[in-house]
A and B are shown apart, each in its own frame.
Chain A
Amino acid sequence: MNWSRVGAIMLKHWFDFRRDFFRIFDIFWWPTFQLFIWGLFSLYLNSVTADRPNFVTILLGGVILWTFFDRATRDISRTFIEEIWNRNLPNIFSTPLTVTEYIVGVVGIAVVKLIMSAVFLFFLARVFYAFEPLKLGWYLVPATIGLTFAGWSLSFFIQAIILRYGHTVEVFIWAIAVLVEPFSCVFYPLSALPVWAQRIALFLPTTYIFENLRRMVFGQSIRVEDIAVSFGLNMVYGVLSIWFFYRTFRYAKKEGLLVKYY
């Protein structure tokens, strides 16, 4: 691994970021939009329900944590698809850059964007809804890390599919988080799902994190074994998706797909 080349990839995306207003927009607009929709809805529920839990904490906690997963699924894939749109993939991979260096570079820039989004969201939630994310305490650390890793695993899987099948499947970059969301129990407990959906939900690392978020909000203790299962699933999916990405990249290179589709 050459850190200078990793830095070059990060530098390239920093240049991209500076030159494109809509990238800045993307980092701040969508999370803000989600926050306000759910924030207003939470306030409304608080106002019409007597003897109720604090909906702001339940729903905004879910929205903020979901942002980590949502951004993680899209950021890296979007960076990747933009290289494809610009026909730049053969260019950058005709240099000594390795796939690992590329991955580390784009993950690095994704972390920076994620932190920017999160800090902005925390700030807005605190100012407009008196929601204090740091009240989640130490749980915030495994929850954000777990959700981010789950998003990256899915993202690499999608990138591999795009490498293999081209533009026709790129819609999954934007759709995958929406497809996973109902099964992740972001805003309702696992028991609210039909039995068949609960079975699917148990295979998602995200489900355990949101289930425990609600336990925490209701003053119950965090189930460490749930967090362990979530991280275990993340590890399995992470290894599989990276392996799948490398394998598909090699295949795409051998078959000339890097040039063919783009």
Chain B
Amino acid sequence: MSPQLTVYENLFVVAKLYRVIDPKQKIQEYAEKFGVTEFIRWPTRKLSAGQKTRVSLVKAFVNEPRLLLLDEPTASLDPDIALYVRKEILEARKRGMTVLITSHNMAEVEEVCDQVLFIHRGKLIARDTPEGLASRVRKVHVNLMMKDGQKRTLAFAKKAGFRATHQERFVTIDVDEEDIAYLLASLADLGVSYKSIAIDKPTLEDFFVQASTKRSHL
């Protein structure tokens, strides 16, 4: 965008290039959605990185394309604006728009995407729904808030071949889903006691880590 032009002028030119009907109204609509209204009359050169991203999003949506390509759409955005962006992407999907997002933010991908493609070193290594990919990770995280027996717990995990990490009174053990019962029974046998237990199901991020680690070692 031209830095000396105001945000509105830049958006107006883009709307004209796409032959948007009633460009003023469309710009107004998306400027409000992405929180651009307050600086719409500013010269574009005065915007911060986050504000520029918001303006780029207005620019991307203003012609209501059938296919929208977004590269890290919420990078450098404040959490509240990022929330609006994700909401708008979901609404756009509902309206029938195809949105292709490239992102390293797995939580965001899980929230807004119905299909995920993993590309590693230029090669497609997996394609599925976010849930489908996450379910390919067999490990679950067992999070324990320890009361007594933290050392015994860590020693048992090492001996049993489970990956365990700890921080202060919290221990996390990665196990296959079918080994949860064995783990908990063994800890009971060792006389370990804990205040609370939480079991985290695998996420897309776990799949990402697993897949990229595996491939990196190839």
Interface residues of A (CB under 8 A from B): 2, 4-5, 7-9, 11-12, 15-16, 19-20, 86, 88, 91-92, 95-97
Contacts and interface: CB of A to CB of B under 8 A. Distances in A.
Interface in B1-60: 1-5, 9, 12-14, 16-19, 43
B2 A16 contact: yes
B13 A2 contact: no
Contacts of B16: 4-5, 7-8, 11
A16 B4 contact: yes
B19 A5 contact: yes
Nearest to A83: B2
Contacts of A19: 4-5, 43
Given A5-B19, A88-B2, 16 more contacts: A4-B19, A5-B16, A5-B17, A7-B16, A8-B16, A11-B12, A11-B16, A12-B5, A15-B5, A15-B9, A16-B2, A86-B2, A86-B3, A91-B1, A95-B18, A97-B17
Contacts of B9: 12, 15
Nearest to B19: A4
Contacts of B17: 5, 8-9, 92, 95-97
A253 B5 CA distance: 26
Question: Secondary structure at chain A's binding surface: helix, strand, loop or mixed?
Answer: helix
B2 A12 contact: yes
Nearest to B2: A86
A51 B166 CA distance: 104
Interface residues of B, number: 14
A19 B8 CA distance: 13
Nearest to B23: A8
14 contacts: A2-B19, A4-B16, A11-B12, A12-B2, A12-B13, A15-B9, A15-B13, A16-B2, A19-B4, A19-B5, A19-B43, A88-B2, A95-B14, A95-B18
Contact of B1 (A9, A11, A86): A86
Nearest to B45: A86
Contacts of B19: 2, 4-5
Contacts of A97: 17
A20 B2 CA distance: 12
A221 B88 CA distance: 72
Contacts of A86: 1-3
A5 B14 CA distance: 9
List the 7 shortest-distance A-B pairs measured between CB atoms, nearest first: A8-B16, A95-B17, A12-B13, A19-B4, A15-B9, A8-B17, A15-B5
Contacts of B18: 95-96
A96 B14 CA distance: 10
A12 B5 CA distance: 9
Contacts of A5: 16-17, 19
Contacts of A96: 17-18
Contact of B5 (A2, A7, A16, A95): A16
A260 to B, nearest CB: 17
Contacts of B12: 11
Interface-central residue, B1, B4, B9, B13, by most chain A CB under 10 Å: B13
A8 B2 contact: no
A62 to B, nearest CB: 35
A7 B13 CA distance: 9
Contacts of B1: 86, 88, 91
Contacts of B43: 19
